[in-house]
Amino acid sequence: MVDKASIVLASGTVDKLMAGSIIVSGAVANEMEVNVFVTFWALMEMRKNAGENTKLGVEGKGMEKQLFSIMKEKKVPSWKDTLKQAMEVGDVHVYGCAMFADLMGIGKDDLDPMIEEVIGVSQFVDMAKDSKMTLFI
Amino acid sequence: MAEEIKPDKVVDARGSFCPGPLMEMIKAYKQAKIGDVISVYSTDSGTKKDATAWINKSGNQLIGVFDRNGYYEIEMKKVK
């Protein structure tokens, strides 16, 4: 049986989302099946109308302008593009969190097509319980 | 390491950052036929380790890592 990785994306800042999507790629390179559960601020960033994300976590406060200009200059792909590429190459499934979607009135149609389905926590835990790697980011 | 061979497919991932070159290499590998030689050009230092580890772990053949002017080339042969 193929090894599984389960990743919760909860933070909506670029540093965390980039780390998450790069780790998804690493899991794909290790031939793992990856299930990603997107909730809270990460789900807000998965809305089609989210706009450009230029937020960093607390440690990056004040660094936004510098970091984003370096990233632009070096043509670093966005976290969404990195995640999309991982989905093209490997067995990656991305799910939205039903609880937070309901809370904020977000429907599946409001979300990026990368989100395969909006599911409940129990369904995600069922996928995650026999994983080799589980991360909350 | 064997002599370098003319590749069937070149993946020019110069300027692309981790994990870009590795993912592009895996994509090319999946599209290739058994026996095909794939070359990846990269300027990303992590890729040298990641890509060679992937080639060995996946049971394929690493032909070599060649230093070029300002970038390096990883050459592999798809054997499975």
Nearest to A29 among B15, B16, B54 (CB): B54
- What CATH number is given for B9-77 in this structure? 3.30.110.40
Tens of pLDDT, residues A121-132:
999 999 999 999
Tokens of B25: 């290499």
Provide the ipTM: 0.82
- In order, the DSSP letters of chain A are ---EEEEEE---SHHHHHHHHHHHHHHHHTT-EEEEEE-HHHHHHTBTT--------GGGTT-HHHHHHHHHHTTPPPHHHHHHHHHHHS-EEEEEEHHHHHHHT--GGGB-TTEEEEE-HHHHHHHHTT-SEEEE-
SS3 B45: helix
B-facing residues of A in 6-65 (CB < 8 A) are 22, 25-26, 28-31
pLDDT attached to residue B2: 56
By the 8 A CB rule, do B63 and B5 touch?
Answer: yes
Catalytic residues of B: 18
DSSP-H helix ranges across chain B: 20-31, 45-57
By the 8 A CB rule, do A53 and A71 touch?
Answer: no
Tens of pLDDT, residues A22-73:
999 999 999 999 999 999 999 999 999 999 999 999 999 999 999 999 999 9
- Per-residue pLDDT, averaged over A8-21, amounts to 98
CA of A75 to nearest chain B CA: how many angstroms apart?
A: 8
Q: What is the CA radius of gyration of chain A?
A: 15
The per-residue pLDDT string of chain B (80 residues; one tens digit each, 9 = 90 and over) reads 557 789 999 999 999 998 999 999 999 999 999 999 999 999 998 899 999 999 999 999 999 999 999 999 999 999 99
Quick one: which of A45, A48, A35, A38 has its CA closest to A14?
Answer: A45
Say how many domains are in chain A. 1
Domain that holds residue A40: 4-136
CA of A36 to nearest chain B CA: how many angstroms apart?
A: 18
Q: CB distance A77–B22 less than 8 Å?
A: no
Q: Could you tell me the CATH number of the domain that includes residue A117?
A: 3.40.1260.10
Q: CB distance A75–B23 less than 8 Å?
A: no
**Is A83 touching B (CB cutoff 8 A)?**
no
